[in-house]
Homo-oligomer: A and B are copies of this chain.
């Protein structure tokens, strides 16, 4: 066996910020070298950030990424880090292929590079291009068809990109045939609830299949609707977990591995399952024996803290959306209800109380407790709150045009939206929308009203989860001996939009426990009327809810982005026609 110290850099790049991302790589490579690493590994597309979406189709952006990657190799060498091989992901293009109808022009690739001695020494590209859920890669890239196997200090290391590990054939089969000592994968794999150990199990299975150590380095941080949770790890050839990074935060960890020394065996000859092994040699002699450090093995909390993990993801989402879009502060309409209370609490945890502004916008239908609960929330968290009565503005509209019923209800929400946006434009705050996934799914919101905003922190949380999150956050505070941030009354009172006298959500919607379960079954698993009826729901209720969901598509498209925490989101990863006359009948 030969020893190797591998540094994995779980970092948080920003899409398009080539200079900033380059600095992140330089900083972490320096630290890796200081820690005595023989190899430093960064996530998929770290040079450009992920996802680049249709930026991949801009030739000038592809050129800039390639240029930045060469500049990075040079900068590493200039800083005296040239002897440390640094693995990065970057946007490249395939050369020497003809234009093909329907293929991305310029043949962009989701590529891998090994930077060494001031040069881009090895390159390859992702073979399997995911195009489901949040991924559009078949649209944006052309596939790579090689697997680089790099001999480093006498060990053969294969490198692959993200999805190439998830699919059974292609690079995995080629790595097995090439008898590598380890397979290192670079990833940009977004967080999803209830998927905590899926990646670990995948790495374990692949390690056993290939008969080699598998290293998995993932991105962290929020990028628009995606949250990358890190969770980088290494498993040995038997599938035993060797090292594991913390979740959600930047982390550089080194792991000392003892890997099989590469023999004289070359090959395989020709492509394996469409992928050709290309061998490179950096150094053949194993490093002199040294005393290994104990690996980093971040413990995972028990499953009961799943809600806590969701909360943490939401905080990261808000923090990075604000930071990456250049907002120093956020503004939120505080109604005294649970949605705005939780949204404000997440914002305070993300940005600090002094950067969160609350706007209380009572109308003639607002109950006394609405204002009192909102004021109490602001007081507990140090939120700067101001109150604006909307009645005079509503009256001015009603003097101009006659509106009643739903039109008059929507008017109040739109007056509030306009006030929020006005203060955002005037003072520079990011407006956070407070809608939850149940409302959004059912269309229980006002377009251009309560749906205004730049980011919607709880848009992927069912209402029942909103309550759970609020209770969890308060309990956490109590455990720490702090005042619970959310007033108990905001959690316990029956939800109401307060747009007409005595209005309750239950006037228009089923009880949230029933509604959320039904929505989750319809949206999360695409079950139809018959299956949902068999599952025990009233057929009339099912039809009513399905009709609500299908009709709300237009509003959902206009909703701000928000952190994704579930496998089936309502917007970005569901592309439905707006005009859809179909209502399932059986």
Contact = CB atoms under 8 A, between A and B. Distances in A.
A393 B397 contact: yes
Given A407-B426, A584-B60, A53 B576 contact: yes
A419 interface: yes
**Assembly stoichiometry (copies):** 2
A448 B452 contact: yes
A102 B166 contact: yes
Contacts of A195: none
Contacts of A396: 392-393, 395-396
A15 B128 contact: no
Given A57-B526, A64-B582, A397-B419, A163 B577 contact: no
Given A575-B136, A577-B55, A16 B582 contact: yes
Contacts of A18: 582
A186 to B, nearest CB: 18
A434 to B, nearest CB: 16
A368 to B, nearest CB: 21
Given A102-B132, A426-B402, A575-B53, A17 B582 contact: yes
Nearest to A586: B64
Given A17-B581, A52-B577, A426 B397 contact: no
Contacts of A390: 400
A418 interface: yes
A406 interface: yes
Contact of A530 (B15, B60, B131, B454): B60
Given A64-B584, A131-B138, A397-B393, A418 B419 contact: no
A224 B579 contact: yes
Interface string A183-227: 000000000000000000000000000000000000000011000
Interface residues of A, number: 93
B60 A528 contact: yes
Interface string A250-273: 000000000000000000000000
Contacts of A527: 59-60
Contact of A102 (B20, B128, B404, B423): B128
Interface stretch (A276-284, A409-417, A482-490): A409-417
Given A102-B128, A397-B422, A448-B417, A581 B14 contact: yes
Given A325-B579, A426-B404, A554 B454 contact: yes
B224 A167 contact: no
Interface of A: 14-18, 20, 49, 51-55, 57-61, 63-64, 101-105, 128, 130-132, 136, 138-139, 163, 166-168, 223-224, 321, 324-325, 388-390, 392-393, 395-397, 399-407, 410-411, 414-415, 417-419, 421-423, 425-426, 447-448, 452, 454, 526-531, 554, 558, 561, 574-582, 584-585
29 contacts: A15-B577, A16-B580, A51-B577, A53-B576, A55-B577, A55-B582, A60-B528, A63-B528, A101-B166, A101-B167, A102-B130, A102-B132, A102-B166, A131-B138, A132-B139, A136-B575, A224-B577, A321-B579, A324-B581, A325-B578, A388-B401, A390-B400, A393-B396, A396-B396, A407-B425, A410-B425, A414-B418, A448-B452, A558-B558
